[in-house]
Amino acid sequence: MLKVVIHQPDFMPWLGFFNKAKKGDVFICLDSVKMDVKNCGWLKRVKILVQGKPVWVTIPVTSKNKKTYNVISEILINRDDRLYLKAYRIIKDSYKKAPFFKEVFPLVEEYFEENNPKISVRNKKFIKKIFQIMKIYPEWYDSSKLEVFESKSTLNAELTLAVGGNVYISGEGAVGYLDAKDFSKRNIELVINKFYPYKFKYRQFNVEDFIPGLSIVDALMNCGFEGTRNLISGEE
């Protein structure tokens, strides 16, 4: 059985992203679909704790051709926008007193010092770094190089076939648009990865009650590399 996970290259994703990726033999980075550049969600933003409250941190983006919709692999970071440095400062200031700040912050710094203007390149580089640190070793493919031109549920099924997969692991968030028939007629088993954040809770240095759904940066700052690796693996 070859298990396939498919996901867009989110910005500093949450724990559930990596928990799902760990269960796959193959990870397909979905960088070939078009998104609304102004409203591209998790591609450019994520929540962290700021003074004990969950706050969105956003990377400003634009497109070279100024189109409203653009392929993910062509969406650019707008470094001239003040929000770019603001995002950097918010992360730094929010976690400078965290127990593992010195160990983890160089990853954040490297992201913001990167010269490549494509957000997909930056995000993929960060994700691959975390894969390495967390000992997650799926075979990696970019969907933009697989020449599959379907859409939505059919796209995921065809991408799974393109890499020789026969099991597709989906997150619960995709259940709304996935059609099980697209997978069954291709002899692909559809598995829904159920990630319950409170089962993976950890002590956060700046709050009393655990706040879930944050960037993996929060877990790393509070637990360090080894502690976060245990969390993703589901170990106590």
pLDDT in tens, 93-130: 999 999 999 999 999 999 999 999 999 999 999 999 99
Identity of the amino acid at 173: G
Question: Residue 114 has what pLDDT?
Answer: 95
- Tell me how far apart the alpha carbons of residues 112 and 121 are, in angstroms, rounded to a whole number: 12
Q: What's residue 172's pLDDT?
A: 82
pLDDT at 235: 46
Question: What pLDDT score does 178 carry?
Answer: 87
pLDDT of residue 149: 84
Determine the Cα–Cα distance for residues 168 and 157; give it in Å rounded to an integer.
8
DSSP state of 175: T
CA distance from start to end of the chain: 28
Provide the pLDDT for residue 9: 98
On whether the pTM is more than 0.75, the answer is: yes
Enclosing domain of residue 12 = 3-233
Residue 101, Cβ density class (10 Å: 0-12 exposed, 13-18 middle, ≥19 buried): middle
pLDDT in tens, 213-222: 999 999 999 9
- 10-residue mean pLDDT profile of the chain (236 residues): values are 97 96 97 92 97 96 86 94 96 98 98 96 98 97 92 90 96 80 95 91 95 97 96 69
The structural domain count of the chain equals 1
